[in-house]
Chains A and B, each alone.
Chain A
């Protein structure tokens, strides 16, 4: 009889123990944690367009650094946990949302001298691979399409934080990269040195987990 009780206890306890070992709890629910477990933990995160933006910096007249920003950033981030697509980005920026703090300069930036927003109404970045470095930063490589031209770039990505909010899980990313705008056919002011060729771009993203 005691033997039968032992066997029955084992039958009941085994699945419970198994469930306890595999169930996501605590920090494992965050994107950082999803970067380590198996690919079955794939999650899709939607960019929070209110708390996300892209900043750019370019040298003006060989002297000061001029800053501008794009207000409309949208897209999705997918975390699968491992492999070259551990973190995958599909981001879109509306160039018409460019803002410099000066209306006249905004009009110039939207014109064919720069972003030609009527002709090219969207800038996109689709990542092709991601790799985590020893310093904890990620190297995210992907195709940047801007001004009708697509080029491969690599961005340095930092996972800035994670939180569990009222709307569900949230995470933050900050990506930095430099583009040679003349390679995208945007060469106004380059030849005369009035406006720099290399543009540093910093994209700040806050993403929320999409309900499964």
Chain B
């Protein structure tokens, strides 16, 4: 059962979006954000239809927020412009996504404004590393960052959110491998669209986890998870920046450390025990036991 969950929720949506990357992204980096949005949305809609009757809950509006962010970034990515101009576009996209989010804990104006500021800052700050070296090391580090966000959602008991974030994480990993295999690396640069999409998924998913959390998950874990993509800034620091390999390793290390911290805090806060609904799924595959079959109705 768990293997089916990973196949339908993570691998297939990520593979479908990866096909889009191969088809379009080598020509235009703006497709990166659209691909990430696609992987995320397909994964969600597989388990919880985004347009459904009866409604599935407000949390699925996260797709609309992300679509708005990616839409703004993708529309602006054709314009080129200065570094500052691109940063402003990212900030506007982040604000737009945060202000659209209608969930418990994020209704009050001051909280909404705080979320908008955080998301705008994360989107704008992720752009320089994505533009500088947006190849293997960037995608690999972002894959680790999103894996941490997915674990955070899982630890709070929110599997339906953990799965699509896992799909986005898997897609980042595959794009990273593609970047490693293809030369020049520039072919699969994240660009504005990809950077905003990653910051959006991390920020919105962390905010949603916090919104629905009913246990003792600390706010610090959610805040760290939202900012985990920025761990790649470690590779931009002077000691590492000059060397491509050192910078790449530092980026991966930066995101891995933050993700590890998020996972550690989240799992320590969550209660222990085999409690997931899918626990021991493989051991409970349908069986045909002659004696028992005679007893069951």
Contact = CB atoms under 8 A, between A and B. Distances in A.
Interface of A: 60-63, 96, 100, 102-113, 116-119, 147-149, 183-185, 187-189, 191-195
* Chain B interface residue bracket vs A: 35 or more
A107 B284 contact: no
Contact of A96 (B104, B105, B214): B214
A118 B273 contact: no
B5 A192 contact: yes
Nearest to B271: A103
Contact of A118 (B52, B212, B270, B276): B212
A94 to B, nearest CB: 12
Contacts of A148: 54-55, 57
Smallest CB-CB A-B distances: 4 pairs: A103-B271, A104-B275, A105-B275, A61-B284
Contact of A185 (B56, B276, B280, B286): B56
Nearest to A120: B57
A188 B163 CA distance: 12
Contact of A107 (B1, B56, B157, B160): B157
Contacts of A192: 1, 4-5
B214 A118 contact: yes
B58 A119 contact: yes
B200 to A, nearest CB: 19
Contact of B212 (A109, A111, A193, A194): A111
A116 B277 CA distance: 16
Which applies to chain B's interface (DSSP): helix, strand, loop or mixed? loop
B273 A189 contact: no
B239 interface: no
Contacts of B281: 61, 194
B273 A102 contact: yes
Interface of B: 1, 4-5, 47-48, 52, 54-59, 103-105, 156-161, 211-212, 214-215, 270-273, 275-278, 280-281, 284, 286
B159 A104 contact: no
Given A102-B273, A103-B271, A112-B59, A63 B160 contact: no
Nearest to B287: A63
24 contacts: A60-B277, A60-B284, A61-B280, A62-B286, A102-B273, A104-B273, A105-B275, A107-B157, A108-B157, A110-B157, A111-B212, A112-B59, A118-B105, A118-B212, A119-B58, A119-B212, A149-B55, A183-B54, A185-B52, A185-B57, A187-B48, A189-B277, A189-B278, A194-B281
B270 A119 contact: no
Given A104-B271, A185-B54, A185-B57, A111 B278 contact: no
A199 to B, nearest CB: 13
B255 to A, nearest CB: 26
Contacts of A107: 156-157, 214-215, 270-271, 275
B277 A112 contact: no
B158 A119 contact: no
Nearest to B4: A192
Contacts of A60: 277, 284
Contacts of B47: 187-188, 191
A112 B276 contact: no
B277 A194 contact: yes
B214 A111 contact: yes
Nearest to A105: B275
Contacts of A61: 1, 280-281, 284
Contacts of B271: 102-104, 106-107
